[in-house]
C-alpha cells in the first residue's frame, strides 16, 4: 500500500518498505541531499528536518511515520529567497565544512518559529542536539540571535 506525505510543499509517495528511513527517502528517492547522514544514530543533528514543524532526526525515523504529514528540509526553508537564518549564517561566518549546517539551520528555524525572541541560553538549549567539529558555536549562536532580531524587525 503506497502512502504519501508532503515535502517542502509538494506531495510525495512513501515506499512500501517498513524499514526505509526518512533520510533515505529524502536523499535517495527525492534527491534532496541537503539533509546529511553523518552519525546515523540521531546524536549529531545533521539529518534534522521539520516534521509538522518540529525538528526530528530523519536518520532514525521510519519513513512511514511521515504518512499524511508535512516535512520541511533545509532546501524548503528559504524557498526562492534566503530565510533570515540562512542569511545570518552567511553573514556571521557560522559554517565551515557544511555538514552540520543544514541541521543547525533547521533547528534554528524551529526555535524561531516557536519563540521569535529567544535568549542566548534558549538558543543554546535548542541547538544542543547539533554537533559541529569545524567552527565555534559562538558564531552559530550569534547567527541565530541576529536572525531572530531581523525577523522581529529589531536591530542588534
Name the nearest CA neighbour of 41 among 65, 58, 24, 20. 58
Name the nearest CA neighbour of 105 among 129, 84, 74, 128. 74
Whole-number Å distance between alpha carbons of 118 and 120: 6
- For 112-139, b/e burial (b = at least 16 CB within 10 A) is beeeeebeeeebeebbebbbbeebebeb
| pTM for this model (two decimals) | 0.92
The answer to whether the beta carbons of residues 127 and 106 sit under 8 Å apart is no
The answer to whether the beta carbons of residues 58 and 26 sit under 8 Å apart is yes
Domains and CATH numbers, the chain: 3-76 (3.10.20.30), 78-152 (1.10.150.120)
Q: How many C-beta atoms lie closer than 10 Å to residue 69's C-beta? A: 14
pLDDT tens sequence for the chain (156 residues): 459 999 999 999 999 999 999 999 999 999 999 999 999 999 999 999 999 999 999 999 999 999 999 999 999 998 889 999 999 999 999 988 888 999 999 999 999 999 999 999 999 999 999 998 887 799 999 999 999 999 998 755
Amino acid at each position: 500500500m503506497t502512502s504519501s506525505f508532503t515535502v517542502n510543499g509538494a506531495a510525495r509517495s512513501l515506499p512500501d518498505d517498513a524499514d526505509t528511513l526518512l533520510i533515505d527517502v529524502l536523499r535517495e528517492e527525492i534527491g534532496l541531499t541537503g539533509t546529511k547522514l553523518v552519525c546515523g544514530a540521531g546524536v549529531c543533528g545533521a539529518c534534522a528536518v521539520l516534521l509538522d514543524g518540529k525538528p526530528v532526526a530523519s536518520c532514525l525515523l521510519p519513513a512511514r511515520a511521515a504518512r499524511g504529514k508535512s516535512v520541511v528540509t533545509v532546501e524548503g526553508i528559504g524557498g526562492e529567497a534566503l530565510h533570515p537564518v540562512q542569511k545570518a549564517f552567511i553573514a556571521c561566518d557560522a559554517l565551515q565544512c557544511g555538514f552540520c549546517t543544514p541541521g543547525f539551520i533547521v533547528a534554528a528555524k524551529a526555535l524561531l518559529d516557536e519563540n521569535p525572541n529567544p535568549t542566548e541560553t534558549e538558543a543554546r538549549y535548542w541547538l544542543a542536539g547539533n554537533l559541529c567539529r569545524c567552527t565555534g558555536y559562538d558564531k552559530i549562536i550569534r547567527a541565530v540571535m541576529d536572525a531572530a532580531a531581523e525577523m522581529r524587525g529589531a536591530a542588534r
